[in-house]
Chain A
Amino acid sequence: MPLRRLFAITSILFFAVLAISPLKNALRPYRAIQREYAKLGAARAKSQKLAQAYQARPVSIQQIWLPGLQNRVDRCTTCHLGVQDETMAGAPGVFRLHSRSFHTPKDFDRFGCTSCHGGQGLATLEEDAHGHAENAGTPMTPLPFIESGCGRCHQAEQVAGAAILSRGRKLMEKAGCFACHLVKGHEGFRSEAPPLESVALKTGGEALKRWLKDPKGLDTNASMPNFHLADADIEALTHFIFNTVPSRTLSEKIRTAGEEKLGDPINGKKIFAEARCISCHTVEGKGNGTAPELSKVASRNTQPWLLAFLRDPQAFNPRTRMPRFGFSEADTRDVVAYMVTEFKDFEAPKEMLDPVHVNQSLAEKGQKLFRQLGCTACHAVGGAADRIGPELNRIGDKRAASLDFGKRTDVKHTLPAWLQAKLEDPRSLGAGLKMPSYGFTPEDNRAMVTALLALGADPVPDRYQHQPAQRASLVPGGGVGALFDRYRCLSCHQIGDRGADISTAPLTAEGSKVQKDWVIDYLVLSYTIRPILTDRMPVFRMTKEEATTLAQAFETFYLDPSIPEDPFAGQPATSRDPVEGKHIFDTLGCKACHIQGDKGGYFGPPLNEAGRRLKPGWTYKWLKGPQQWRADVRCPNYGLTDADALKLTSFLQTLVQKPAALKTAKGGGR
């Protein structure tokens, strides 16, 4: 009897234990979710048949398996059933249709879910899959940073459709992150920071101390971050910097400039405005802002230095973006006279620009500090730059558990929150940290965190990597190269993949685009082509010979073989009919954006001189599809036929009025 009873009990126990697993499976939350989905789908379905299809769906785990993409197994669609289902547009919560973007919903089978969103694809319980638990391995990327997913495959600096990521990448370059941190693709980065040996020639002790205390306090456009230095350290660094010996040529330039008398500030003001300094600089916040704010510049730079620098900026800092203008000796004196009378900080003490009497022991202490603080990363003195920060290449997949949150309790234990806090206040996350503060705005911070999260640990297979085609970025050497260098064309213009984007006109196909005579006139005396743009080409005071050399170089090197020299060749004579072209011009409504005659919009360039400026081949090619030059060109593609595009080109070629600026000004010469 007891044996039988024991047997009975153990067998019941055995069955109970056996039942736990199927029971657990039967009660898993996704089953309830799938039943709910079937019900919702049946209610929303447009036909009886579709409704039945929803109800007949078997309840089972769904997955997307991607052996070619890091062997991902994404079971997210087990609960998120409606992501590809148009019936679920606007459905609540978990069932809703995925928003439409470049890859969704059409590319789910190529990318799965976790390659963009992060999280644990294999898990079928919400907490596990989303990684909401603290210190979870790979939690989901919060939506504000979702574009980091784009960046895992799209390696290019600018990614169309991912504005936040692109902005973040650009900011990282601008802030000079790569000077201290190694990041793949940016190994060759060099900061534009000036060499130290000319600092002592440029400024005074008090001004330098204020700069070291808070660079942005002196110049709102300063790219140097704030190192939160103690006063004693600032003192030591100042002595060290004033102890560096400038080269003889530079000292000589400053010495001779110091002997010159000041010029006429009124003429200086005129030249300052005409040269369009604010296409790069700002004055009281007005201007482009990629170069220093000038409104107080004469209180932190000595007068001889301003004079010598303006004459040859590239001698003082070979990596500067500033062009060497062709001002005459007297003109430079006038401009500097204007700057020292106008661009002053009237609250600054008199001793701002007094030199420092160097104390050797302080200077030695400063030298040590200079190395310790990592200043050499940007201001390399002679030798190679040191990267003192950690490598950032795999940071996007760092586990939150391996991050030091220091004493901060207000920061969520996730990687994005840590990065945000780090960029906001770098030294708050532990003692003895060296990273300086940059004062990023919240939007900039978010963009940079997005760019950082895109730096994943697992490289995406080549098949998934998207690298835009490299374009030829030739800059010739010799005399032409010297002119490119002198006028720093690449500080504003793009050539192929090189250069900056202050100008909206890349020079890559300039020779196919503009007429040689026009470009010579324009280089000698540039004027406004697009009235809505605030940044305009400076007047360099280039000589006619120099302008001709450059124009010839455009004609030789910067051509696009797809642009015909003569689009009318081999076409019937009717294609040259400007009267027909004018009719097309009017019916298309080109005047909504372009001025022609005395009427029209201010959005595109006025067309009154189109025939003098543009080559017919380029105009024709443009009309056939404006977006082929740049995807974001606003001029709409009218889908013109070849014949209509030719007629319109022929009309535009008849517009050869000279702009007023050229008629009145003498231009040219120095």
Chain B
Amino acid sequence: MKLSLLSRLAWGLALALVAASGCSRRKEAVAPAAAATPPAAEVAPATATPAEAAAQTGPPLSYELRLGRQVFQHYCLTCHGETGAGDGFNAFNVEPHPRDLGDPAFQKAKADADLKDTVRRGGVGVGLSPMMPPWGKTLTADQIDQVVGYLRTLKRTDAPPAS
């Protein structure tokens, strides 16, 4: 009887082991996927074609930032310039000249809320030059968030650019 109990136990153990090993193999196979944060390398080629990647230096922009860049390039670039340095082709007709948005000191001094407010209400709205128009009725709140997000990427880290 004792022997039979032992053998029964042994059988049970064996079965459990089989089941467990089957499951654990499964678990291992899935575990990396479960913990997976889509690795950066997998996302990078997806967001930019090689040509685009070559054109940009830094890491590829997120979807929101790319939308922000679109807004910037459509509405802001003519005066504020490609890099936000205030050297767009129309800047020289505008007195006072547009601000250098890439200036680290400027970027540090202004909170996102300030920048959004200026974009929304324009220069007159915040007591500056009327040459900066108010965009609050042209752009959606989302677009203003996106363009301010993109402005942050224009901050220069190095010394002032050679112009």
Contact = CB atoms under 8 A, between A and B. Distances in A.
A13 B129 contact: no
B126 interface: no
A126 interface: yes
Give the interface centre of A586, A592, A600 by most chain B CB atoms within 10 Å. A592
A385 interface: no
Interface string B43-80: 10011011110000000001110010010001100110
Contacts of A71: none
B19 interface: yes
B162 to A, nearest CB: 25
Interface residues of B, number: 55
A600 B79 CA distance: 12
A508 B66 CA distance: 33
Interface stretch (B33-41, B99-107, B150-158): B33-41
A94 B38 contact: yes
B49 A144 contact: yes
Nearest to B38: A93
A558 B12 CA distance: 89
A29 B132 CA distance: 53
B11 A12 contact: yes
Interface string B23-42: 10011001101111110000
A56 interface: no
A125 B30 contact: yes
Interface in A600-643: 600-603, 626-627, 632, 634, 636-639
A592 B31 CA distance: 59
A16 B142 CA distance: 56
A237 to B, nearest CB: 35
A205 to B, nearest CB: 39
B21 interface: no
Given A12-B8, A29-B31, A29-B34, A589 B132 contact: yes
A407 interface: no
Contacts, number: 132
Nearest to B52: A443
Contact of A443 (B34, B49, B79, B93): B49
B22 to A, nearest CB: 8
A27 B22 CA distance: 11
Contacts of B16: 16
Given A12-B8, A93-B36, A94-B38, A627 B27 contact: no
Nearest to A28: B30
B67 to A, nearest CB: 8
Nearest to B46: A143
A431 interface: no
A32 interface: yes
A24 B136 CA distance: 55
Contacts of A637: 137-138
A127 B34 CA distance: 11
Contacts of A592: 79, 90, 93-94, 130-133
Given A100-B142, A634-B75, A637-B138, A94 B36 contact: yes
Given A144-B46, A443-B51, A639-B137, A93 B37 contact: yes
Given A125-B30, A443-B49, A602-B89, 6 more contacts: A1-B4, A27-B23, A29-B33, A29-B34, A143-B43, A637-B138
